[in-house]
């Protein structure tokens, strides 16, 4: 049977090339591995080897031809006594498979009714207890460690020191050195070890003293933890939680005051949680530990000591991808998460006195994001302001604005405003630090602006 | 370790000894003052004091020449004072004021002086080590016979990037002296809880880097080791590792409860190994100075530190427009 030799792709980006030179002529016997031709790609001149054996029946493309598309037949190999015309009619190369299952591309469609997903996280009448965010996080981890032997925590100063921010206080006593593991200051190394342990069947919780130091380890988080399930065709998941303080603390300067919400929220394969209240910290951390995917859990040093009501239930989790409506309102939607909620809620109080009724939504998880609750609210209020501590370029608020524009454009009575941290590294000086952070006053002003007040 | 005897002989000159005494005392008094200002809320965030480790930077700076470079971690106040930066500018940076070396924008952990060849002040543990090798790379490239001191802690010594830097520094014979300030603790983690490879300079041998451990509480020993390391580097045979055995008396930072070691352990170090006390004894014992002479110096230093503190309190906060400057060159 005659065999067609096709123009090869000799670099990952090559679409066409020049057939610079034939090194065989019609009638030659070729062996597999023999150099047939020299081909110039977009990057280099490459030698093109024969894969099959046979006799060169016909050279279809003349030496020196430029712009030969990849997969175009360039020659025909025949067997002894066979004619080159026996080759199958040159056919148009099969087109690259067009996305069979297209990614859900947002199309500017006529607005459809969207139903909010926000609903109560626990049954009415559940007894509540007051707890700090710190205690809630500790309870979440301890409960999961009691019920699941594969769960362990590792990080700097989590054991004997009782946690740099005292989140793991007492846990070494209860769970012992095997499961509460002090590491040297080697973020990239211990993150890799934890990811490997997750591949190996354990469920690690990795504490970063702060997320600023996770930058040492971000390669393992993204290239190893987030992508391996996909790269292994679904075989090898990575159930792991990366948690720690994120964002600005107070006066600790540029290298220790950064919000990574938008960074991690960009990465498919990661889930990203950023709780505000103690109840959410507890319910979402338990959920994160049970999740079979890598979860980035962004805490906040300033919130650690804040107290909230937490349901007093033996086992309480909050699903990812479900926002919480903290306050219902009719004039404007304020969307935030993490410490941004503090400014959002304060602003709503101030605005209420001015007769502006704000609906305040806490996203709680940034991947997945509960778009429906945001859209349903915006379709009701027709105005939206987003609030976050991170930088303004590529912010979560930017993304939400785009989503709102695509799905609810006709409902908007004003452009969405993103309130963010300023576009500068965090300064140390007290007066400048205040300016760099997003403030309640800025949120109030933004709301008034979208309300044309 | 037994207490030092006052009869110990010194091979340092009177001038050298007086210089060490002044410089070390300046750092100690400065740090004590910084601790006070922190307590008063005038300094915020993280503030890591250098008290106890003074002999390391003073000894090495005595061996250095004009133009040599230095880079270190967040525990940087001593390094800045020892390389000749103005205590006023350092203190004013601690209070976040316009008169500070970074005009208030860097703070305790992030200060720089191009003029004094002080390249920071870095908050990420270990990051300054490759940076230091890079400074040395530039010097070698420019063939200017300078050396760089890259200071880091025993905790930082476990970071992977330190070893990546070691490998290239030796491969390219960079004129860098890796100075490990082994104060035995990384926050609350003692050396023996973080590694079984406890000879930190010894790790460099695996990369072909020469090095040694030095009594970092003895300023004369530090200087001598520094001179040797500098000679190696200037001869184009660098890098070199100096593991300075030292101790910090205070907590890791101002907010460290320091429950990981006993008060007795700290007291014993202060009583038996204190670097300033050592030089004081050499001065008195060698007949180089009288008690009154030293009291005079103490007074002088106190005055300088108080002036720095006053300056740091009086210097105004940076102008609000400063928020937006220095982001791009
Ligand atoms: C990459 C990174 N991880 C963690 C921290 C938090 N941290 C700051 S200092 C420190 C201990 C460092 O100890 P060592 O290197 O011995 O220096 P020392 O403080 O004793 O001078 C830690 C864990 C950090 N700043 N950077
Ligand atoms: Mg140390």
User: What's the pLDDT tens digit per position in A251-304?
Assistant: 999 999 999 999 999 999 999 999 999 999 999 999 999 999 999 999 999 999
The CATH number for B188's domain is 3.40.50.970
Q: Largest Cα–Cα distance in chain B?
A: 59
Would you state the pLDDT for residue A90?
45
Banded pLDDT at B263 (limits 50, 70, 90):
very high
Tell me what pLDDT residue A92 has: 47
Helix (H) or strand (E) holding B276: helix B275-285
Mean pLDDT of chain A: 92
Say how far apart CA B101 and CA B94 lie, in whole Å.
9
Last residue of a domain, one of A311, A331, A359: A311
* Residue at B329 is within a domain: no
Domain membership flag for residue B310: no
Instruction: List the domain range (segments joined by +) for residue A277.
Output: 125-311
Cβ atoms < 10 Å from Cβ of A108: 10
A188 counts as catalytic: no
* Ligand 1 centroid, distance to B125 Cα (angstroms): 5
Q: What is the mean pLDDT of residues A215-243?
A: 96
Q: Please check the confidence at residue A419 and state whether its pLDDT lies above 70.
A: yes
pTM value is 0.87
Mean pLDDT in residue range A422-441:
97
- Note every long-range contact of B231-234, with CB atoms under 8 Å and residues 24 or more positions apart, other chains counting: B233/B136, B233/B147, B233/B175, B233/B176, B233/B177, B234/B145, B234/B147, B234/B175
* A287 and A419 housed in the same domain: no
| Domain presence at residue A115 | no
In a domain, residue A275? The reply is yes
Cβ neighbours, 10 Å, residue A246: 29
**Rg from Cα positions in chain A:** 29
Q: Are residues A284 and A385 in the same domain?
A: no
Supply A128's token pair: 């509540």
The CATH number covering residue A62 comes to 2.40.50.100
Q: Give the list of residues 6+ apart from residue B162 with CB closer than 8 angstroms, or none.
A: B126, B129, B130, B152, B156, B178
Per-residue pLDDT of B296-319, as tens digits, reads: 999 999 999 999 999 999 999 999
pLDDT, one tens digit per residue, over A86-118 is 555 444 444 454 545 556 555 555 556 788 888
Q: Are strands B185-186 and B189-190 parallel, antiparallel or unpaired?
A: antiparallel
Report every protein residue that has its C-beta within 5 angstroms of ion ligand 2: B 153-154, 183, 186
With respect to residue A316, please indicate whether it lies within any of the assigned structural domains: no
Give a yes or no: residue B231 inside a domain.
yes
Within-domain flag for A331: yes
Per the structure, the count of domains in chain B is 1
Q: Is residue B207 part of a domain?
A: yes
Classify residue A217: in a domain, yes or no.
Answer: yes
B113 found inside a domain: yes
Confidence (pLDDT) at A1: 74
**Res A102: pLDDT:** 55
Whether B255 has a pLDDT exceeding 90, the answer reads no
Is residue B291 assigned to a domain?
no
Q: Report the side by side order of strands in the sheet with B240-245.
A: B118-122, B69-73, B148-153, B176-182, B240-245, B210-215
| Residue to mutate (ligand 1; options A154, A159, A185, A253; most atoms within 8 A of CB) | A185
* Options A135, A156, A207, A256, the catalytic residue: A256
Residues A253 and A166 in one domain: yes
Catalytic residue status for A187: yes
Q: Tell me, what's the pLDDT at A107?
A: 55
Task: Give CA–CA dist A177/A180, Å, rounded.
Answer: 5
Question: Cβ contact (<8 Å) for A435 and B109?
Answer: no
Q: Is A123 exposed, middle or buried (CB count within 10 Å of its CB: 0-12, 13-18, 19+)?
A: exposed
Is A54 in contact with A3 (CB distance < 8 Å)?
Answer: yes
Q: Identify whether residues A298 and A331 lie together within a single domain.
A: no
Q: Are residues A290 and A143 in the same domain?
A: yes
| Residue at B264 is within a domain | yes
Q: Is residue A141 part of a domain?
A: yes
pLDDT of residue B5: 47
A12 domain residue, yes or no: yes
Are A45 and A84 in a shared domain? yes
Residue A8: the pLDDT is: 86
Q: What is the pLDDT of residue A110?
A: 56
CATH number at residue A421: 3.40.50.920
Q: Does the beta carbon of B107 lie under 8 angstroms from any beta carbon of chain A?
A: yes
Question: How many domains does one find in chain A?
Answer: 3
- The pLDDT value recorded for residue B141 is 97
Q: Say whether both A389 and A349 belong to one domain.
A: yes
- Domain ranges, residue B127: 5-284
Tell me what pLDDT residue B1 has.
40
Task: Identify the pLDDT of residue A108.
Answer: 55
pLDDT score at B250: 94
Q: Are A218 and A305 found together in one domain?
A: yes
Please give the Cα distance from A190 to A213 (Å, whole number): 12
Answer with the residue of higher pLDDT: A423 or B10.
Answer: A423
Q: Give ∠ CA A271-A276-A279 in degrees, rounded to 5.
A: 90
Residues A296, A148 share a domain: yes
Domain membership of residue B262 (yes or no) is yes
For residue B258, how far is its CA from the centre of ligand 2 (angstroms)?
A: 13
B260/A161 Cβ within 8 A: yes
Residues A203, A147 contacting (CB under 8 angstroms): no
Q: In terms of Cα–Cα distance, which of A297, A304, A299, A353 is closest to A320?
A: A297
Minimum CA distance residue for ligand 1 atom 12: B186
Task: For residue A74, say if its preceding peptide bond is cis, omega within 30 degrees of 0.
Answer: no
Average pLDDT estimate for B140-156:
97
Check: CB of residue A325 under 8 Å from CB of residue A336: no
Q: Is the pLDDT of residue B3 over 50?
A: no
pLDDT at A106: 55
Least confident of A4-8, A159-163, A167-171: A4-8
Q: What percent of chain B has pLDDT over 70?
A: 97
pLDDT at B200 over 80: yes
> What is the CB < 6 Å shell around ligand 1?
A 156, 185, 187, 209, 213, 216; B 75, 123-125, 153-156, 181, 183, 185-187, 252
Q: How far is CA B88 from CA A54, A411, B35, B106, B163, in A?
A: 85, 59, 15, 15, 37
DSSP designation for A120: -
- What CATH number should be reported for the domain holding residue A290? 3.40.50.970
């Amino acid at each position: 049977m005659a065999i067609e030799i096709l123009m090869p792709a000799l670099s990952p980006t090559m679409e066409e090339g020049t057939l610079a030179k034939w090194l065989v002529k019609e009638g030659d016997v070729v062996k597999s591995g023999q150099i047939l031709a020299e081909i110039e790609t977009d990057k280099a001149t490459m030698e093109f080897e024969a894969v099959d054996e046979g006799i060169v029946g016909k050279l279809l493309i003349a030496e020196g031809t430029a712009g030969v598309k990849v997969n175009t037949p360039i020659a025909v190999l025949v067997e002894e006594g066979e004619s080159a015309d026996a080759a199958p009619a040159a056919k148009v190369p099969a087109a690259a498979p067009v996305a069979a299952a297209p990614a859900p591309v947002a199309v500017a469609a006529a607005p459809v009714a969207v139903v909010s997903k926000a609903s109560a996280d626990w049954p009415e009448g559940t007894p509540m207890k007051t707890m700090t965010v710190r205690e809630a996080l500790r309870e979440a981890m301890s409960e999961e460690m009691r019920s699941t032997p594969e769960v362990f925590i590792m990080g700097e100063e989590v054991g004997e020191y009782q946690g740099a921010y005292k989140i793991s206080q007492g846990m070494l006593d209860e769970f012992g050195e095997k499961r509460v593991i002090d590491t040297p200051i080697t973020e990239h190394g211990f993150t890799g070890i934890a990811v490997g342990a997750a591949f190996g069947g354990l469920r690690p919780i990795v504490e970063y003293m702060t997320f600023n130091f996770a930058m040492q380890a971000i390669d393992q988080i993204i290239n190893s933890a987030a992508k391996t399930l996909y790269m292994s065709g679904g075989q090898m998941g990575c159930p792991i939680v990366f948690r720690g303080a994120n964002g600005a603390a107070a006066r600790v300067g540029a290298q220790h005051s950064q919000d990574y919400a938008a960074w991690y929220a960009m990465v498919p394969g990661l889930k990203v949680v950023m709780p505000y209240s103690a109840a959410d910290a507890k319910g979402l951390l338990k959920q994160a530990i049970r999740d079979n995917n890598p979860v980035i859990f962004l805490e906040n040093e300033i919130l650690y000591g804040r107290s909230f009501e937490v349901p007093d239930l033996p086992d309480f989790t909050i699903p990812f991808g479900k926002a919480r409506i903290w306050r219902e309102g009719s004039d404007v939607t304020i969307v935030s998460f993490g410490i941004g909620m503090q400014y959002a809620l304060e602003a709503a109080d101030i605005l209420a006195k001015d007769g502006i009724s704000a609906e305040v939504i806490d996203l709680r998880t940034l991947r997945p994001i509960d778009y429906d609750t945001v859209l349903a609210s915006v379709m009701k209020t027709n105005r939206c302001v987003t609030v976050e501590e991170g930088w303004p370029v590529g912010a979560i608020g930017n993304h939400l604005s785009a989503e709102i524009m695509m799905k609810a454009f006709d409902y908007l009575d004003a452009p969405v405003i993103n309130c963010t941290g300023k576009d500068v590294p965090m300064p140390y000086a007290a007066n400048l630090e205040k300016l760099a952070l997003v403030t309640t006053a800025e949120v109030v002003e933004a709301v008034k602006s979208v309300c044309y007040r | 370790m037994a207490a030092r005897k006052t009869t110990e002989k010194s091979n340092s000159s009177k001038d050298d000894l007086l210089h060490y005494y002044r410089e070390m005392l300046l750092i100690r008094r400065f740090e004590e003052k910084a601790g006070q200002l922190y307590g008063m809320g005038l300094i915020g965030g993280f503030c890591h004091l250098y008290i106890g480790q003074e002999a390391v930077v003073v000894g090495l700076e005595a061996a250095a020449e004009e133009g040599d470079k230095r880079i270190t971690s967040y525990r940087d106040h001593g390094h800045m004072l020892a390389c000749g930066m103005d205590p006023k500018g350092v203190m004013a940076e601690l209070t976040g004021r316009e008169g500070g070396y970074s005009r208030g924008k860097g703070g305790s952990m992030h200060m720089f002086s191009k003029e004094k060849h002080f390249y920071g002040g870095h908050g990420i543990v270990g990051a300054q080590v490759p940076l230091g090798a890079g400074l040395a790379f530039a010097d070698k490239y420019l063939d200017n016979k300078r050396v760089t001191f890259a200071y880091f802690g025993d905790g930082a010594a476990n970071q992977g990037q330190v070893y990546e830097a070691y490998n290239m520094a030796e491969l390219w014979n960079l004129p860098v002296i890796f100075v490990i300030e082994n104060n035995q603790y990384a926050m609350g983690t003692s050396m023996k809880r973080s590694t079984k490879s406890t000879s930190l300079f010894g790790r460099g041998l695996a990369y072909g880097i020469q090095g040694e451990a030095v009594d970092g509480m003895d300023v004369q020993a530090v200087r001598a080791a520094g001179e040797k390391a500098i000679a190696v580097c200037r001869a184009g045979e660098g890098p070199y590792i100096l593991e300075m055995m030292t101790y910090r008396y205070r907590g890791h930072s101002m907010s460290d409860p320091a429950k990981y070691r006993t008060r007795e352990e700290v007291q014993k170090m202060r009583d038996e190994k204190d670097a300033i006390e050592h030089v004081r004894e050499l001065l008195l014992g060698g007949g180089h100075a009288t008690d009154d002479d030293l009291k005079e110096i103490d007074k002088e230093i106190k005055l300088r530190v108080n002036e720095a503190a006053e300056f740091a309190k009086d210097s105004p906060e940076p102008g609000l427009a400063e928020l937006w400057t220095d982001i791009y060159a």
